[in-house]
Amino acid sequence: MGGEIRFLLNDTEISLTEAGSRDTLLDFLRLNRRLTGTKEGCAEGDCGACTVLVGRLHHGHMHYEPINACIRFLASCHGCHVVTVEHLRGADGGLHPVQAAMVEHHGSQCGFCTPGFVMALYGLWMQNPRPDMLAIETALQGNLCRCTGYEPIVKAAFAAGEAGGQNFDALTVERDRVMAALIAMPRERVQVSRGDDRAILPADAADLAAVLAENPKATIVAGATDVGLWVTKFLRDISPAVFIGHLTDLKRIEITPGQISIGAGVTYSEFEPFILQHFPEALDYWRRIGGWQVRNAGTIGGNVANGSPIGETPPLLIALGATMTLRSTEGARDIAVEDFFIDYGKQDRRPGEFVESIHIPLKGDARIAAYKVSKRHHADITASAAAFHIETDGTTIIDARVAFGGMAATPKRARAAEAALKGQPFAAESFEAAAKAVANDFQPLSDWRASAAYRQTLAANFFRRFWLEQSGQEHRLRRVE
Ligand SMILES: Cc1cc2nc3c(=O)[nH]c(=O)nc-3n(C[C@H](O)[C@H](O)[C@H](O)COP(=O)(O)OP(=O)(O)OC[C@H]3O[C@@H](n4cnc5c(N)ncnc54)[C@H](O)[C@@H]3O)c2cc1C
Ligand code: FES
Ligand code: FES
């Protein structure tokens, strides 16, 4: 077992023998290393002022993504390359092309948000040298600017793409050295602490089971896009925390003829190409989860395991008929995702168990849709969400699975509405009957996101919208590419 957290910070190798589970990367950067270019705005993953790039080895390549340093725990940086705005420079040692484009196009006024925007645009510039408008909008979903306005920033994003220069960028030039340094970092179990506060990084999934058997009350931390807020907003104690975001055996995606299996540690961004390939109808829904930084960190396993009634993947997974594998030192068991959610805050997870993987059946010809309604289009919490999986023989509805979030204490199927659809003609009247029947499925709450009556109306209208789309009477609201 190792007793050091090791990672690369820009071009400096960091080795920490003392760290607490709750230490954030942002505090380390600003308070310990005095790298104050990275800003703190909201401390909850919403504003992007703290955006840094985190690079990690993935199938023998370095993969860099923007993430929010405010809700990233320091211990989870083990084995990574953390890149802050201070590391940016142009080929001549002056401004980086992204920074030069921001200056040229007046992309900054007060400047507080600017390093975060620069880092998100830097991540985009690395991954997509010639982005279109949709790619730029998607990359900037997680960054807020209160004074400049987005048009100059978008212009800067286009201009940076035109300027090019990726081959001369520091992260390209240094790549071999960075990879060699990361490969040299040991992959054994790591434990560090500060006083009683402990952070543990298991060596692999089998070791995770052993760690949880030894520490059944431990907090599992994957992408920390939920747990991070428990610490920054609620000052909760999470020790001992078991970090799993680095476990490559929880990051596998396997496709067999009838099924796609997703490791619990797969992030939204990692799964997005598979959504595009297998469930393109859900792509817009997928890209509305958090902002880009959140999707680069947040995992599908974390979204299911947290048991939230407004998590976005559970309605989709339930509608698609997904199952999940839970593992412990006692072995593995499979359950339907819908059965995992017992009641508010109560899931079917036994002490020592973790979510290992999720399995979605692939049925070629079903009609699928996923909808989310929130106060803002991007980076906002769901008022209500619905996912549809409807099978027909061309004229009759053979099977209907319709699941909702935000309507009950757990994500839940609309059984009465499903019954109103099954065996009925694939026609407007059937969806109108389901729109009426769904009133019997849920007694939603009123809260600051939406009133109960509004949620009931939404639920009914999702059925009408589904029919209008399926019958070609309504164009999809957003482009699907
Ligand atoms: C700004 C912002 C916007 C967001 N927007 C959305 C949104 O639009 N839609 C949405 O659904 N969510 C949203 N979220 C919530 C969050 O991103 C998701 O719930 C995310 O999927 C959680 O995954 P994670 O890996 O970050 O989990 P973590 O925060 O690491 O963990 C979440 C919970 O799951 C447990 N856990 C994690 N992995 C496992 C595992 N393998 N086995 C057992 N337990 C596990 C943890 O112990 C914890 O209880 C947002 C969050 C932020 C900060
Ligand atoms: S400080 Fe706002 S996202 Fe981190
Ligand atoms: S330049 Fe002031 S918040 Fe963006």
| 344 shares a domain with 269 | yes
- Mark whether 103 and 131 lie in a shared domain: yes
Domain shared by 81 and 188, yes or no: yes
Those residues whose C-beta lies under 8 Å from the C-beta of residue 59, and which sit 6 or more positions away, are none
Q: Same domain, yes or no, for 182 and 162?
A: no
Q: Which amino acid is at 164?
A: G
Q: Tell me what the mean pLDDT of segment 227-238 comes to.
A: 97
Phi, psi at 354, each rounded to 5°: -135, 160
Q: Is residue 204 part of a domain?
A: yes
Q: Is the pLDDT of residue 479 over 70?
A: no
* Interval between CA 145 and ligand 3 midpoint (Å): 5
- Is the pLDDT at 428 greater than 80? The verdict is yes
Q: In this structure, are 302 and 326 located in the same domain?
A: yes
Q: Select from 32, 75, 76, 24 the least CA-distant residue to 50.
A: 24
Strand-pair partners of 306: none
Cα dihedral value 126, 131, 135, 137, nearest 10: 100
Task: Give the domain CATH number at 434.
Answer: 3.30.390.50
Domain assignment present for 429? yes
Whether 152 and 183 share a structural domain = no
CA 137 – ligand 2 centroid, Å = 18
Indicate if ligand 1 lies below 6 Å from the C-beta of 421: no
Q: Does residue 251 register a pLDDT over 80?
A: yes
Q: Is 91 among the domain residues? A: no
Ligand 1: which of 47, 68, 217, 220 to mutate, judged by most atoms within 8 Å of the beta carbon? 220
Average pLDDT score over residue span 404-422: 97
Q: At what angle do helices 114-127 and 150-163 cross, to 10 degrees?
A: 40
- The structural domain count of the chain equals 4
**Is residue 227 scored above 90 in pLDDT?**
yes
pLDDT in tens, 114-134: 999 999 999 999 999 999 999
At residue 63 the predicted structure's pLDDT band, cuts being 50, 70 and 90, is: very high
What's the pLDDT at 381? 84
Last residue of a domain, one of 342, 361, 380: 361
Q: What's 138's domain CATH number?
A: 1.10.150.120
Is 266 among the domain residues?
yes
In terms of domains, do 224 and 254 share one? no
Ligand 2 center to 46 CA (angstroms): 6
Q: Is the CB of 232 under 6 A from ligand 2?
A: no
**What integer is the mean pLDDT of 417-439?**
98
For residue 463, pLDDT over 90 is answered with yes
Query: Is the pLDDT reported for residue 480 higher than 70?
Result: no
Q: Percent of the chain beyond pLDDT 90?
A: 92
| Per-chain mean pLDDT for the chain | 95
Cα 436 → chain centroid: 34
User: Is any atom of ligand 1 closer than 6 Å to the C-beta of 126?
Assistant: no
- Cα gap 32→69, rounded to integer Å: 14
Show which of 243, 276, 293 is a domain's final residue.
Answer: 243
150 in a structural domain: yes
**Ligand 1 proximity of 290 Cβ (cutoff 6 Å):** yes
* pLDDT tens digits, one per residue of 326-356: 999 999 999 999 999 999 999 999 999 999 9
Query: Domain range for residue 419?
Result: 367-480
Per residue in 132-146, pLDDT (tens digit) is: 999 999 999 999 999
Ligand 2 pocket test, pick from 50, 84, 229, 295 with the greatest ligand atom count within 8 Å of Cβ, gives: 50
Residue-level pLDDT at 476: 53
Q: Which residues, 6 or more positions from 348, have their beta carbon under 8 angstroms from its beta carbon?
A: 326, 335, 339, 340, 341, 342
> Residue 186: its pLDDT value, please?
85
Give yes or no: residues 275 and 356 share one domain: yes
Whichever domain contains 54, its CATH number is 3.10.20.30
Checking if the pLDDT of 474 tops 80, the result is no
pLDDT digits (tens, 9 = 90+) for 73-109: 999 999 999 999 999 999 888 999 999 999 999 999 9
Q: In testing the pocket of ligand 2, which one of 29, 36, 47, 292 has its CB within 8 Å of the most ligand atoms?
A: 47
35 found inside a domain: yes
Residue 345: exposure state from Cβ atoms within 10 A (0-12, 13-18, ≥19): exposed
344, 356, 405 from 410: Cα distances, Å = 6, 21, 7
Which of 168, 184, 211 is where one domain is finished?
Answer: 168
187-220 confidence digits (pLDDT tens): 899 999 999 999 999 999 999 999 999 999 999 9
Is 256 part of a structural domain of the chain? yes
pLDDT at 60 over 90: no
Neighbours of 325 (CB within 10 A): 17
Residue 236 predicted with pLDDT over 90: yes
What tokens were used for 261? Answer: 């299996």
- pLDDT computed for residue 473 by the predictor: 84
CA distance 218 to 352: 9
How close is the Cα of 224 to the center of ligand 1, in Å? 6
The stretch 222-244 carries a mean pLDDT of: 98
Do residue 69 and residue 204 come from a single domain? yes
% of the chain with per-residue pLDDT over 70: 98
* CA–CA separation, 243 and 190 (whole Å): 10
Indicate whether 74 and 29 sit together in one domain: yes
Residue 371 sits in the same domain as residue 464 = yes
* CATH classification of the domain holding 288: 3.30.465.10
Cα–Cα distances in angstroms (integers) from residue 445 to residues 18, 251, 262, 343, 462, in the given order: 45, 36, 32, 15, 18
Residue 475 confidence (pLDDT): 57
Instruction: Enumerate the β-bridge partners of residue 326.
Output: 333, 355
| Distance (Å) from CA 224 to ligand 2 centroid | 13
Q: Report in angstroms the alpha-carbon separations of 468 from 110, 369, 374.
A: 46, 12, 21
Instruction: Name the strands in the sheet holding 241-243, side by side, starting at the edge strand that comes first in the sequence.
Output: 190-194, 197-201, 241-243, 219-221
Write the residue with the smallest CA distance to atom 4 of ligand 1: 290
Provide the phi-psi class of 275: left if phi over 0, else alpha when psi is between -120 and 50, else beta.
alpha
> pTM surpassing 0.85?
yes
Is pLDDT at 481 greater than 50 in this prediction? Answer: no
Quick check: 364 pLDDT over 80?
no
pLDDT of 10 strictly over 80: yes
**342 shares a domain with 322:** yes
How many other CB atoms are found less than 10 A from the CB of residue 447? 11
